[in-house]
Amino acid sequence: MGSENPAVKIIIKGRDIHECIIDGVSGVNVISEATCHDLGITHWEPCPFWLRMVDTRLVQSIGLIRHLDFMLGGHIFTISVVVLLLDAPGAYLILLGRPWLRTANIKQHWQRNMLSFRRGKTKVRLIMEERISTPQNTTPLYTEGVHMLDGLADEEVDHFLEEHPTIVLLFEIDFITAAGPYVAEAAMGEVLNQLDPDPTTITKLRHARNTLNES
């Protein structure tokens, strides 16, 4: 199942990138591995977290780029992006999610197909490109930390704890059941607080919340 997302043209390393989608559901900014290679970006650091997708899958990213510059409307923005292998048909090149929308104080005027932001005393308004259909299972909802003992046998865990007595294990909880609906609800709150929330984004958040409630 796909969804319709607004898109803009951005410039990275002098290259025009059309159909950069804006998705208020996503808890991270994303760039595809293929786009990185096309731009000559070959180095990134290990990503310290996994991504919980809208369809509840847990996905391991390829890496993390902490500082990526791009130009939009003649202004430079610097973001952190997660590198993902996106091989689904219709997958996006770059996704700008809630972190960018929030930190750049982007105002979304969906009825007029426009976004705006301020740089100093200057208010910038941009007309967005035609909405892009993207696979819904490529949208990250939020991040999850990596458990350092995952994958170890019981004997290996015991041995590790004996060698590192200062490490105290926390109670293990079902994070998805306990926190997932609240995360989705918080994300929905952010969207609803926008000037003109996108109906498609709200629908996706409600779908994610219902899916998490059922899991």
pLDDT tens across the length of the chain (215 residues): 567 889 999 999 999 999 899 998 888 999 999 999 999 999 999 988 888 888 888 888 999 999 999 999 999 999 999 999 988 777 899 999 999 999 999 998 878 889 999 998 999 999 998 888 877 778 888 777 655 445 445 565 455 456 545 444 443 434 344 445 545 555 555 555 554 556 666 566 666 656 555 55
Q: Does residue 169 sit within a domain?
A: no
Judge whether 149 lies within some domain.
no
Any idea which residue has 């919980």 for tokens? Answer: 52
Residue 157 located in a structural domain? no
pLDDT number for residue 210: 61
Report CA-CA distances (Å) from 17 to 14, 21, 49, 170, 203. 9, 10, 27, 45, 27
- The span from the CA of 106 to the CA of 128, in Å, is 13
Domain count across the chain: 1
Running DSSP on this structure, what letter comes out for residue 152?
-
121 burial (CB, 10 Å; 0-12 / 13-18 / 19+) is: exposed
Specify if 152 maps to a domain.
no
Please indicate, yes or no, if residue 12 is contained in any of the structural domains. yes
Domain span at 200: 2-143+178-214
CATH classification at residue 182: 2.40.70.10
- Tell me what pLDDT residue 141 has: 81
Domain-embedded: residue 163: no
Residues in the chain: 215
Does residue 154 lie within any of the structural domains? no
d(CA 82, CA 85): 10
Q: Is residue 148 part of a domain?
A: no
